[in-house]
Amino acid sequence: MKPLADCHLYTFVDTAYLRGRDPAWVAQQLCDGGSDILQLRAKGSTPAEVRRLAESILPIARAAGVPLVINDHADVAREAGAEFCHLGQEDFFEAGHQRVEELQMADGRLQIGLSTHTPAQCARAVAAGADYVAIGPVYPTGTKPTARPVTLEYVRWAAAHVDIPWFAIGGINLGTIGDVLEAGARRVCVVSAILNAKDIAAECLRFKARLEAR
């Protein structure tokens, strides 16, 4: 399994962008395109539905050596055997959690990523033991239409202050990734720019090339 430190392209099987496509097929295309880490995001789905999706995707991710992240559902992540769970501020701190250990299995295998939108949130997430943090949304994004963009200033702050792995997220496409990398990002999350592409695997490869050329 690829270590988190070596993961630079973070992609998504997001049910909001499937448009009738099989989630397992999308996961395969992402892995074929060189995705380093893969998140299952199924907003509005029940835990049982998320579990079924995870079980269809996990063998594909495992065969590719790609860690699987389950969004929102730590219980599902533990039960399915995913490597990671990703949580927003409202799902972690606002839900009363203080340390990521509270959500881990007894052996500590489940790793936790946290969304952050300000330096203060990021510092708190790091202090809580997050394995990685998301920095964003950098630009306006359809995945979070009401979220205020944090701009490249937050990316620059993260580059100067965050020692754990972090991923820039939000509105990143092949037209904006150059500025994001110039601001100091070395890892990016990409949702719609890849899932809306005609050829998902080929689009992944284009992003990988930009990341590797930094």
pLDDT number for residue 147: 73
Cα–Cα distance measured from residue 92 to residue 131, given in angstroms and rounded to the nearest whole number: 14
pLDDT, tens only, 18-52: 999 999 999 999 999 999 999 999 999 999 999 99
pLDDT, tens only, 176-186: 999 999 999 99
In this model, does residue 214 exceed pLDDT 80? no
Residues 6+ apart with CB under 8 A from 163: 126
Count CA atoms within 13 Å of residue 79 on its CB side: 12
Catalytic residue among 35, 115, 124, 187: 115
pLDDT, tens only, 109-137: 899 999 999 999 999 999 999 999 999 99
Residue 144: active-site member: yes
Cα–Cα distance measured from residue 167 to residue 113, given in angstroms and rounded to the nearest whole number: 10
Cα–Cα distance measured from residue 13 to residue 18, given in angstroms and rounded to the nearest whole number: 8
What does pTM read for this prediction? 0.95
Please give the radius of gyration of the chain, using alpha carbons only, rounded to the nearest integer. Answer: 16
Residue 2: active-site member: no
Residue 41: active-site member: yes
Cα–Cα distance measured from residue 190 to residue 208, given in angstroms and rounded to the nearest whole number: 11
CATH of 4-212 given 3.20.20.70, 3.40.50.2300, 3.40.50.10320, 2.40.50.100: 3.20.20.70
Catalytic residue among 35, 51, 124, 144: 144
In this model, does residue 106 exceed pLDDT 60? no
In this model, does residue 88 exceed pLDDT 70? yes
Is the peptide bond prior to 137 cis by the omega test (within 30 degrees of 0)? yes
Catalytic residue among 41, 51, 124, 187: 41
